[in-house]
């Protein structure tokens, strides 16, 4: 009778880039819960992953079996408009160099997150992985989206030529506790929560939001995203892109109303139509993730928003802000 197969994460050293950040902190927690005892979280002050020598030093110091690459230079529409060059270069170099040095060191597996911003601006709804190259991304975040999508090209090329085992996942917009709540650089849900809370507390009769409220978005609770990433690490062995999401979309104006109600802001929501809307619609086909490694999101948007608002209310003194 053969011995039982050891747990996947036992005696495995895992580097989680971005492991101190929003998504990464949940990935690290779930890794620990799965029994992984050798988790390395590189900090930017010690390893500037935009620089090749820092990437090489990280691999030398940690000697990982698996790398989960979550680190990114990222923000909302305003941050993308203000930093297109930096977002392109930093994200491109981090991904390219981490994969290349991983190949050189015969890494067991490399797992990376791309971005929904990589999809064409007018991709058919729902976004299917096979449509990812059928058009140019939405202009305000195209440099970021294309830089991250290069990891998919590299993953497929390196698997073909070198047999390098790498996986690139494309999560939809994430939200949840510990998110970036800086109004200049955050994404839509944390920005709306903070604006609604501020408007309520100052007694404003109204608040003004960007665009016209007509775009749709899909949102994935951060704990679900972490679960999907680790399922892919354990079970998925290919370089085809895989979406991570819920498959459900909501209009931004409806989202704003939900958050205002959850926060308790009773005022009017106005729209500044001189500001950009971003991509018209975002909604994913999520069947591939279910078929290939059994991933299904567990949190409904209403429940996730409630948890996020509660966390923000309890942690406002220490909310995370990201400046560029």
Looking up residue 156, the CATH number of its domain turns out to be: 3.40.50.720
Q: Say whether the peptide bond before residue 303 is cis (omega within 30 degrees of 0).
A: no
**Helix, coil or strand: residue 111:** strand
Rounded average pLDDT over 274-287:
90
CB 85 within 8 A of CB 143: yes
63-77, 161-175, 225-239: range with lowest mean pLDDT = 63-77
- Whether residue 3 lies inside any domain: the answer is no
pLDDT at 314: 93
| 303 domain residue, yes or no | yes
1 pLDDT higher than 70: no
Identify the CA nearest to 112 among candidates 272, 241, 275, 265: 241
Residue 17 domain-assigned? yes
User: Residue 69 falls within a domain, yes or no?
Assistant: yes
The residue-averaged pLDDT of 114-120 equals: 93
What digits encode the pLDDT tens for the residues 130-189? 999 999 999 988 999 999 999 999 999 999 999 999 999 999 999 999 999 988 778 899
Supply the DSSP symbol for 50. Answer: T
Instruction: Flag whether 4 is in a domain.
Output: no
In this predicted structure, what is the pLDDT of residue 13? Answer: 98
Range of the domain at 150: 13-318
Q: How far apart are CA 109 and CA 1, in angstroms?
A: 29
Cβ partners under 8 Å of residue 268, min gap 6: 205, 206, 207
DSSP 120: B
Residues 6+ apart with CB under 8 A from 232: 111, 167, 169, 242, 289, 292, 293, 295
Q: Residue 11 — φ and ψ, nearest 5°?
A: 55, 30
**61 domain residue, yes or no:** yes
DSSP-derived letter for residue 177 is T
**Mean confidence (pLDDT) of the chain:** 93
Q: How many structural domains is the chain composed of?
A: 1
pLDDT in tens, 8-21: 999 999 999 999 99
- Angstrom CA distances, 6 to 2, 3, 10, 214, stand at 12, 9, 7, 50
Alpha-helix residue ranges (DSSP H) falling in 183-294: 188-201, 222-235, 252-263, 287-293
What pLDDT is recorded for position 6?
Answer: 66
**Quick one: CA dihedral 283, 288, 292, 296, positive or negative?**
positive
pLDDT on residue 320: 64
> Which residues are marked as active site?
144
Q: What is the pLDDT of residue 2?
A: 46
Q: Are 182 and 321 in contact (CB under 8 A)?
A: yes
Q: Which pLDDT score, from 0 to 100, does residue 233 have?
A: 98
Does any domain span residue 126? Answer: yes
HSE-up of residue 103 (Cα within 13 Å, Cβ side): 17
Task: Using pLDDT thresholds of 50, 70 and 90, give the confidence band for residue 97.
Answer: very high
pLDDT of residue 317: 79
Examine residue 49 and state whether it is found in any structural domain, yes or no: yes
Query: What is the β-pairing status of strands 250-251 and 216-217?
Result: antiparallel
Q: How confident is the model at residue 278 (pLDDT cuts 50, 70, 90)?
A: confident
């Amino acid at each position: 009778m053969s011995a039982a197969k050891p747990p996947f994460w036992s005696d495995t050293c895992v580097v989680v880039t971005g492991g101190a950040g929003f998504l990464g902190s949940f990935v690290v927690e779930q890794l620990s819960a799965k029994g992984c005892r050798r988790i390395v979280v590189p900090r930017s002050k010690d390893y500037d992953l935009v620089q090749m020598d820092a990437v090489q030093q990280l691999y030398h110091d940690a000697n990982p079996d698996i790398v989960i690459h979550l680190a990114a230079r990222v923000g909302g529409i305003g941050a993308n408009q203000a930093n297109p060059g930096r977002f392109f270069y930093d994200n491109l170099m981090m991904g390219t160099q981490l994969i290349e040095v991983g190949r050189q060191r015969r890494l067991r597996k490399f797992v990376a997150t791309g971005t929904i911003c990589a999809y064409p601006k007018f991709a058919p709804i729902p976004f299917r992985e096979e449509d990812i190259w059928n058009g140019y991304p939405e202009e305000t975040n195209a440099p970021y989206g294309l830089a991250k999508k290069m990891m998919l090209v590299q993953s497929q090329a390196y698997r073909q030529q070198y047999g390098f085992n790498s996986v690139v996942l494309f999560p939809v917009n994430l939200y949840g506790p510990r998110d970036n709540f800086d109004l200049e650089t955050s994404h839509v849900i944390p920005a709306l929560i903070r604006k609604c809370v501020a408007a309520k507390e100052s007694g404003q009769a109204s608040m003004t939001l960007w665009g016209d409220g007509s775009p749709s978005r899909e949102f994935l609770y951060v704990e679900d995203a972490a679960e999907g990433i680790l399922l892919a690490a354990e079970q998925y062995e290919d370089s085809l892109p895989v979406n991570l999401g819920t498959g459900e979309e909501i209009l931004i104006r409806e989202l704003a109303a939900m958050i205002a109600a959850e926060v308790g802001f009773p005022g009017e929501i106005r729209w500044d139509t001189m500001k950009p809307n971003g991509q018209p619609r975002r909604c994913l086909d999520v069947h591939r993730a279910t078929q290939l490694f059994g991933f299904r999101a567990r949190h409904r948007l209403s429940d996730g928003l409630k948890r996020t608002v509660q966390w923000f209310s309890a942690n406002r003194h220490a909310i995370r802000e990201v400046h560029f």
